[in-house]
Amino acid sequence: MTDDEIYAQARKSYARLVVFTNEEWQAFRERTLIRYLNRKEHFLRQDAVCLHCAYVAKGYVRHYYLVEGKEVTNDFNFEHMSTGGYQSFITQMPVRFNIVAMEPTTLVTFNRSTILDLYERYPNWQKLGRLVIEGLFNRKTLREESFLLDTPEDRYRQLLQRQPFILQRVPLVYIASYLGITPETLSRIRARK
């Protein structure tokens, strides 16, 4: 994709939430950068401060924690989603997790001063920021509730309902980790379905 195609895709994706004027969009475009990640290249590493967040134009990233030397998957961000260490981005404190590209990935990145300036100057950017954070909060709340209240089978079923494409793109070992189960347990659940 060309830069123009990447930005056109991002604008169209954001238009599902907020329709930007040409001036509002140009202010964003002038202060953002396109970044390409190779498979297994990190966007953010544990103990770093998140200086940039991003719109995922192509590919996907996986969020994971290192727990006793083992990678524990916490999230996936696919095309048309945002990614970053939001708490660190806001507080400028280090993150405790990693974000790694799982495929060749194209991101539109922006720094904290850019987004704060856009919020200040344009109510539509502030509205988009609020809607993105509300969506993130909703996803995190549903995940937390699911871990507390649902069986592993229910978590798997819900994941397939929300993201039916996930089995075609994400290795089962990472899906199992995301669901909080072993790969063997996931195999048994899939065999029963």
My answer on whether 143 and 162 are in the same domain is no
The model carries a pTM of 0.93
My answer on whether 12 and 105 are in the same domain is yes
- Return d(Cα 58, Cα 23) in angstroms, integer: 25
My answer on whether 168 and 130 are in the same domain is no
What is the side-by-side strand order in the sheet with 105-111? 33-37, 105-111, 52-58, 82-83
Owning domain of residue 192: 150-193
pLDDT in tens, 98-157: 999 999 999 999 999 999 999 999 999 999 999 999 999 999 999 999 999 999 999 999
Report the domain count for the chain: 2
Task: For residue 109, report the phi and psi dihedrals to the nearest 5 degrees.
Answer: -105, 150
My answer on whether 84 and 178 are in the same domain is no
My answer on whether 100 and 191 are in the same domain is no
